[in-house]
Amino acid sequence: MKHPRSYLFVPGQRPDRFAKAAASGADAVILDLEDAVGPDAKDDARGHVRDWFAQGGGGLVRINGSDTPWHEDDLAALADMPEATVMVPKAEPEALGRIATRLPGRPLVALVETVAGLAAVRETARLGAVVRIAFGNLDFGADARIPESGSVLDPARFEIVMASRLGDLAPPVDGVTTNLKDITAIDADVARVRGMGFGAKLCIHPAQVAAVNDGFSPTPAEIDWAQRILAALQAAAGSVVQVDGKMVDRPLIDRARQILLDAGAQAH
């Protein structure tokens, strides 16, 4: 299965941008009803998003939190959008469970962006409705009273990676890079979190999408390494082989297979 590498936010009150976002190259589009939409525009945004799905559009919908006055209206509107995956902000198990009950069978992406949400993330990962976990680094830093949102939050990222694995979920989604068009900064952020086990990233500008997609795709060198390992395994007809003078056993063989699966999925 191909999991999205890039998730591009688009404000729900800007229907003129929906099709552009869908054509940006992003693997997934998030139609935002929360932070990008002011209080006076919530109803209009909800209507625009409903129209988008009614016309055959797709994507995720980020709803307003359960502690806001717009939450119930968002859930009511989503009942008319059965194709929409729901992104839940400030995700914690109790709220996720209530949403799963209101929208049975609906896939949920849990956006972990509070200290309480991180403390309960392993429980979140085991909820049947949750299909992926994303990290809201900016809100988390504010809630944790940590002024930076980069590598200083990597211990929280590590816990999200562990929880995702324990829940047998896809590799998690990293938060945003605030430098909108600084590709060097985006490349560095992607390389760091990919090495930690993340598999995707939230984007806040179309200019970020290509770098994120490239950064989470297998490189030619990785594909070559994987192909040589599997070729050596087939030739040896065993479970342990040597490649480049190094022993390669089951964990690396599994990694090689996953690289080729990812490369094949992203090529189609």
Residues 6+ apart with CB under 8 A from 115: 140, 143, 144
Give the DSSP H/E element, type plus range, for residue 206: none
Show binding-site residues for substrate: 62, 113
Show binding-site residues for Mg(2+): 113, 139
Show binding-site residues: 62, 113, 139
Q: Do 11 and 35 touch, CB atoms closer than 8 A?
A: no
Cβ density class 144-163: b for 16+ within 10 Å, e for less: eeeeebeeebeebbebbbeb
Q: What does the alpha-carbon distance between residue 129 and residue 163 come to, in Å, rounded to a whole number? A: 15
Backbone torsions φ then ψ of 214, nearest 5 degrees:
-65, -40
In terms of DSSP bridges, do strands 241-243 and 246-248 run parallel, antiparallel, or are they unpaired? antiparallel
